[in-house]
Amino acid sequence: MARPGERSLTVALREAVRLRDCLALSLVPAVALAAFALPVARREALAFVYREPSLLTAYTAHVVHFDAAHLAANLLGYVLVTGFAYVLAGLAGYRRLFWVTTATYLVAFPPVLSGLNLAVPRDAVGFGLSGLNMAFSGLLALVLVAYGARLDDRIRLRDAPALFFGAIVTISIVALPSGTARGVGVASAVLAAVYVVAARRSRRGDPPVNLRAGWLDAGVLGAVALLGYQYVGFSTVTADGGIVNVYVHLLGFCLGFIVPYSAIVAGVVDGGADGGFLSD
């Protein structure tokens, strides 16, 4: 069994990335582009109106955009976070988890995220792909740890909440009101530290794993995409002349992490059963 550092990352990527998977993942951008080609009046009818919600618009609103810059930003975010999640999941042996989770996001998350918006009564209209993008960034946080666990035996998937809470710290700095941010940021930092300290104590004395730089670079780039997207998804910059929905972005990220992590912990999905390319 070859160690990750003994194998070419390029070869592993060629085997991990499949054309049919890329075509399947491209359906979401294709639908968003098709929706953008519709007349403005039709797009307005497909947006989620909080005062007049419907199951149809709870779905369609997530692919509706009214400005080319907003659409381009969301499609770029989708490619980055979903792409890194797909590649790292494949390399780490969590391809099955990725696809089960992706199906859950696309089928169940649109009405859930739209419906949760109704918990805050207001006269507003919701639209855009960013809520689903944030869900995929939650999955990226999980598969980053799964990938790290393949690279270094001292890392365990149960340590994933440390990265999750670390990302919440970033979110609290970027997006939340100052008073709330301090409380959420401090609490998240403490929880992340608890996980890190517990992990270090449980693996004290384990030898480090030496790897070629390419394998580490892939993980670092994934981490940059994860944390960097929080600055985009939780910035105060308006889109399409509206207000960025920080609330649904936070829900998307949290649910996007909690759902697959809980499924693995509960044994509902045996994510690592497909082996992965790091252990060939």
Contact 247, 50 (CB under 8 A): no
pTM: 0.85
Give the pLDDT score at 181: 55
State which fold the 4-161+212-274 domain adopts: Rhomboid-like fold (1.20.1540)
Give the pLDDT score at 254: 92
Give the pLDDT score at 10: 82
Give the pLDDT score at 74: 93
Give the pLDDT score at 103: 95
Give the pLDDT score at 196: 58
Give the pLDDT score at 1: 40
Residue-wise pLDDT tens for the chain (280 aa)? 445 555 678 888 888 889 999 999 999 999 999 999 999 999 999 999 988 899 999 999 999 999 898 899 899 999 999 999 999 999 998 999 999 999 999 999 999 999 988 887 777 888 999 999 999 999 999 999 999 888 887 788 888 888 888 888 877 777 655 555 556 556 656 555 655 555 555 555 555 555 565 788 888 889 889 988 887 777 655 555 566 777 888 899 999 999 999 998 888 876 554 544 443 3
Give the pLDDT score at 82: 96
Give the pLDDT score at 268: 81
pLDDT tens-digit map of 86-102: 999 999 989 999 999 99
